[in-house]
Amino acid sequence: MRYIADLHVHSHYSHATSKDLSLESLYQWAQIKGIDIIGTGDFTHPQWFQELQTKLMSDGSGFFRLKEPPQNSALSDLKHQGRDVRFCLTTEISTIYSHGNQLHKNHHLLYAPDLETVSKINTKLAGMGNLNADGRPILRLPARDLLEIVLEVSDRAYLIPAHIWTPWFSTLGSKAGYNSIEACFRDLTAHIFALETGLSSDPVMNWKLSALDCYTMISNSDAHSPQKLGREANLFDTDLTYNAMFEALKTRQGFLGTFEFFPEGGKYHMDGHRKCGICLDPTATQAYKGLCPVCSKPLTVGVLHRVEELADRPQPRQPEGAPNFEYLIPLPEILSEIKSASPNSKVVQQQFWQIIGAFGNEFTFLRKVPLEDIQQHLGQVFAEAIRRLRNQQVCLTPGYDGLYGTIHVFQPGELQQLNGQRSLRATNANPPVAAAYSSKDTYQI
């Protein structure tokens, strides 16, 4: 069967996450978004793990059901498509260590098929750092050794490097990463079969490195609040079991590809300095010799630049068997643009719930609902917005140095014209972009 999986999320025990991240809200928001398999996140955290043991029950396939799906929360009155949401046991680990006289900081996703395996992993990791301190714990051990521990515990437990290109905390990042997957995992590299591309890169960017051809590229939301679930996700067509899902990631049989955030929308796509308001493309950074033209300190080299640095192909080439992907913009952001209001505003929230009520869930609405139906229910402007999203006709202002980029479907002023009304929208307050990176044309698939 076809199903959507978001395999990197967090609980409220992780640093800087929403207090609303409970199992119940993950369950409800997975239904609202249209996600079938949702990661538990944070299984290394003792209290969260206790909650997983108490509230989840195995469905016999390596996934888990909530014993008591929420009935009386504020969300339960809202109409959305029923969905048999299952959980997959997941966590994220931050390894910080010296290797070859260099400090490395990498994030990794771990997966387990049952609670006993989680318990064994947690027992082994407890001695290497404070698992209580953070849902995403920091361990002082090399990434290779973390992988070794995972492999020793179970041949059905897996490690997938997380958001591999982000500058500060990833396997290939510009600040604390390596130049290859092999340099990081050394003799155990053969046990790595998939990589998470992260919000600031997409599969096409990764297709410029022949060294990555053998890895399956996955995408997940890394949500720090339930509303952000599914901003990236994976599409499968397999039996709904843990074994079948990971077999698909190993073989690419039954892995249909990913839903992608536009990489320009990620926080580390371009180079720059957030506090100096400087955003540069790789060529401009080189012209400045890597130093900020305002403060003269080293720039934060972003994902686009880092990919170019390690790439060995002038043009991306889709590896054999690698699936396609679709770009998506979260619905609240599209509503925010159309309504000229914040994604958290009442007007946006109200319309969001109306749409979920009318069309079942967010993924279905963004991807599948015929444009005529959208026009009929929501009007011409809305139908045009979704048409443009589906055709990848968007306006991009890239993110850099921790600042999210912005993705719009309408040109400045165009929406007011379409609406035939005077603009109430504030002027664009984005910092200067020294050299705008735009060409989506090469990314068409």
Cβ-proximal residues to 15 (8 Å cutoff; 6+ apart), any chain: 134, 135, 136
Q: Tell me which stretch binds Zn ion (CB under 5 A): 21-29, 158-166, 180-188, 420-428.
A: 158-166
The nearer residue to Zn ion, 5 or 355, going by C-beta atoms, is 5
Residues 262, 264: Cα–Cα separation, whole Å:
5
Cβ-proximal residues to 277 (8 Å cutoff; 6+ apart), any chain: 294, 431, 432
Contact in structure between 151 and 78 (CB atoms under 8 Å): no
Cβ-proximal residues to 198 (8 Å cutoff; 6+ apart), any chain: 162, 163, 164, 165, 166, 170, 219, 222, 266, 303
The nearer residue to Zn ion, 221 or 336, going by C-beta atoms, is 221
Could you tell me the smallest distance in angstroms from the CB atom of residue 222 to Zn ion? 6
The nearer residue to Zn ion, 252 or 273, going by C-beta atoms, is 273
The nearer residue to Zn ion, 292 or 389, going by C-beta atoms, is 292
| CA triple 282-283-286, angle to 5 deg | 85
Could you tell me the smallest distance in angstroms from the CB atom of residue 319 to Zn ion? 25
The nearer residue to Zn ion, 276 or 310, going by C-beta atoms, is 276
Could you tell me the smallest distance in angstroms from the CB atom of residue 275 to Zn ion? 7
Could you tell me the smallest distance in angstroms from the CB atom of residue 307 to Zn ion? 18
The nearer residue to Zn ion, 133 or 294, going by C-beta atoms, is 294
φ/ψ of 374, rounded to 5, equals: -65, -45
Binding mask of the shown chain, residues 335 to 374, with x at each position contacting Zn ion by CB under 5 A: ----------------------------------------
Could you tell me the smallest distance in angstroms from the CB atom of residue 300 to Zn ion? 9
Question: Among candidates 245, 249, 298, 250, which has minimal Cα distance to 276?
Answer: 298
Does residue number 310 form part of the binding site for Zn ion (CB under 5 A)?
no
List binders of Zn ion among 244-303 (CB under 5 A).
273, 276, 292, 294-295
Amino acid 371 reads L
Q: What is the DSSP letter of 17?
A: -
Residues 26, 228: Cα–Cα separation, whole Å:
10
Does residue number 138 form part of the binding site for Zn ion (CB under 5 A)?
no
Could you tell me the smallest distance in angstroms from the CB atom of residue 260 to Zn ion? 17
Could you tell me the smallest distance in angstroms from the CB atom of residue 436 to Zn ion? 19
Does residue number 107 form part of the binding site for Zn ion (CB under 5 A)?
yes
> Judged by CB under 5 A, how many residues of this single chain contact Zn ion?
7
Residues 419, 34: Cα–Cα separation, whole Å:
30
Residues 221, 261: Cα–Cα separation, whole Å:
9
The nearer residue to Zn ion, 193 or 288, going by C-beta atoms, is 288
Could you tell me the smallest distance in angstroms from the CB atom of residue 92 to Zn ion? 5
The nearer residue to Zn ion, 31 or 44, going by C-beta atoms, is 44
In what helix (H) or strand (E) does residue 97 lie, and over which residues does it extend?
Answer: strand 86-99
Distance, C-alpha 2 to centroid of its chain: 20
Binding site for Zn ion (CB under 5 A): 107, 162, 273, 276, 292, 294-295
